[in-house]
């Protein structure tokens, strides 16, 4: 056992968990982008909210409800790939526009990667451990490992853990020109099955409280592994050894993959699926949130919701699960075929 997840809040392009109500309607991508549905952010003062970049706003907005009328966490651990990149570009443009003269500092302050974690701490007057992990496609997984190490050394402590990333037009254009996002119009309703490179961009934020306490927990992170390799055989061998470490004949009830319609990554997901028997269901999620570096956080939130509701929404299913009860969910995600992660999330036994 690594640690337990408690209350969570997710800000995503979709209106809640797909299986939570019959009226769920999939929000479609616009210009190959899936933008989040932002809440009113009632807990953020209006003057402060106006100065926040989107990434910071999402992180603070998701964190504050978890901190109100609750004991202060012993630390804040966040993950992001680019921070507030759009604010960074605004500041750089100001340098050119005003010829390095009088510059407004707000865009610079909001552009740094640690701005979200810092703003949460300042807003709630939390002076504990505060860190932001910036590791591209493994930023969220490194934040999980950091939280695990702290909880392992301090079993009585609790931490706020989260991830946030926005669609920055600047970054989106660079990635589109590099071929990672499609130049042709795509529908997230028909994202899978197309044999072309590139996919749709996404964004989102997740916040959760984690601790060593099982009481009232939504689920537990049972095991995790990260892999750096473009070698298909090496990645599959690592997945096999990961499964064997859980038990000689162990297989999860559900496999959630980060398949995103990019045919360059399909060999990894296809090979991974073939490692599991027919009794293991297969689900996909990036047609709901799009592709971004910390999309694994959204998958983790989906996994916790599935464990709580014991329901796998049809919109996620690629292959039905053989068991009626879902006790273990394995998330396999790869970022550009180089950074791979395995997260095993289980019910609280």
Q: In degrees to the nearest 10, what's the CA dihedral of 309, 311, 316, 319?
A: 150
Mean pLDDT, residues 308-327: 92
Q: What confidence tens digit (pLDDT) does each residue in 275-295 have?
A: 999 999 999 999 999 999 999
pLDDT at 93 over 60: yes
Q: Is the dihedral of CA 228, 148, 304, 247 positive or negative?
A: positive
- Asked whether residue 108 falls in the same domain as residue 170, the answer is yes
- Asked whether residue 73 falls in the same domain as residue 131, the answer is yes
- Percent pLDDT > 90 in the chain is 77
- Asked whether residue 205 falls in the same domain as residue 264, the answer is no
- Asked whether residue 72 falls in the same domain as residue 140, the answer is yes
Rounded CA-CA distance 99/209 in Å is: 45
- Asked whether residue 7 falls in the same domain as residue 155, the answer is yes
Residue 237 Cα to chain centre, angstroms:
25
- Asked whether residue 45 falls in the same domain as residue 184, the answer is yes
- Asked whether residue 303 falls in the same domain as residue 271, the answer is yes
- Asked whether residue 107 falls in the same domain as residue 242, the answer is no
The whole-number pLDDT of residue 109 equals: 59
The whole-number pLDDT of residue 211 equals: 98
Q: What confidence tens digit (pLDDT) does each residue in 331-345 have?
A: 999 999 999 999 999
Domain boundary among 165, 192, 211: 211
Q: What confidence tens digit (pLDDT) does each residue in 149-173 have?
A: 999 999 999 999 999 999 988 888 8
Question: Residue 64 is part of a domain; what is its CATH number?
Answer: 3.40.47.10
Q: What are phi and psi of 130, to 5 degrees?
A: -145, 120
- Asked whether residue 235 falls in the same domain as residue 340, the answer is yes
Average pLDDT in the chain: 92
Domain boundary among 211, 228, 259: 211
Q: What order of strands is seen across the sheet that includes strand 204-211?
A: 129-133, 75-79, 158-165, 204-211, 3-11, 219-228, 339-346, 328-335, 254-257, 281-284, 317-319
In which domain, by residue range, is 149 found? 3-211
- Asked whether residue 23 falls in the same domain as residue 117, the answer is yes
- Asked whether residue 159 falls in the same domain as residue 271, the answer is no
pLDDT band at 23 (very low <50, low <70, confident <90, very high): low
- Asked whether residue 310 falls in the same domain as residue 178, the answer is no
- Count up the domains in the chain and report the number: 2
Rounded CA-CA distance 223/342 in Å is: 8
Q: Which residue has the tokens 């997260």?
A: 343
Mean pLDDT, residues 23-27: 84
Mean pLDDT, residues 317-331: 92
Q: Which residue has the tokens 């490692």?
A: 275
Domain boundary among 171, 193, 211: 211
pLDDT at 20 over 70: no
Mean pLDDT, residues 205-223: 97
Exposure string for 211-232, b = 16+ CB within 10 A, e = fewer: bbeeeebbbbbbbbbbbeeeee
Q: Which residues contact 12 (CB under 8 A, 6 or more apart)?
A: 36, 37, 204, 205, 288, 289, 298, 301
Q: What are phi and psi of 54, to 5 degrees?
A: -65, -45
The whole-number pLDDT of residue 74 equals: 98
């Amino acid at each position: 056992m690594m640690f337990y997840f408690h209350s969570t809040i997710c800000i995503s392009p979709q209106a809640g968990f797909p299986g939570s109500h019959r009226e769920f309607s999939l929000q479609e991508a616009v210009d190959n982008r899936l933008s989040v549905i932002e809440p009113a952010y009632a807990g953020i003062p209006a003057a402060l909210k106006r100065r926040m970049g989107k990434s910071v706003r999402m992180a603070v907005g998701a964190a504050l409800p978890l901190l109100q009328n609750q004991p202060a966490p012993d630390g804040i651990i966040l993950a992001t790939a680019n921070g507030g990149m759009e604010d960074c570009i605004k500041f750089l443009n100001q340098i050119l526009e005003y010829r390095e003269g009088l510059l407004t500092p707000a865009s610079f302050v909001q552009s740094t990667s640690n701005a979200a974690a810092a703003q949460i701490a300042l807003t709630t007057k939390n002076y504990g451990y505060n860190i932001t992990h910036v590791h591209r496609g493994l930023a969220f997984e490194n934040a999980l490992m950091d939280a695990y190490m702290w909880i392992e050394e301090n079993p009585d402590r609790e931490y706020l853990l989260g991830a946030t990333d926005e669609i920055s037009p600047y970054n989106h254009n660079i990635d589109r020109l590099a071929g990672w996002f499609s130049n042709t119009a795509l529908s997230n309703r028909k994202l899978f099955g197309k044999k072309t490179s590139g996919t749709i961009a996404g964004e989102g934020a997740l916040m959760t409280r984690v601790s060593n306490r099982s009481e009232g927990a939504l689920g537990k992170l049972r095991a995790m592994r990260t892999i750096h390799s473009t070698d298909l055989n090496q990645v599959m061998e690592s997945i096999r050894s990961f499964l064997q470490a859980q038990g000689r004949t162990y297989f999860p009830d559900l496999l959630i993959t980060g398949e995103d319609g990019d045919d360059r990554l399909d060999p990894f997901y296809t090979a991974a699926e073939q490692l599991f028997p027919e009794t293991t269901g297969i689900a996909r999620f990036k047609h709901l949130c799009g592709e971004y570096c910390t999309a694994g956080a959204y998958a983790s939130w989906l996994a916790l919701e599935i464990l709580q509701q014991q329901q796998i929404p049809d919109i996620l299913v690629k292959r039905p699960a053989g068991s009626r009860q879902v006790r273990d969910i394995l998330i396999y995600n790869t970022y550009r075929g180089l950074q791979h992660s395995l997260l095993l999330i289980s019910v609280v036994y």
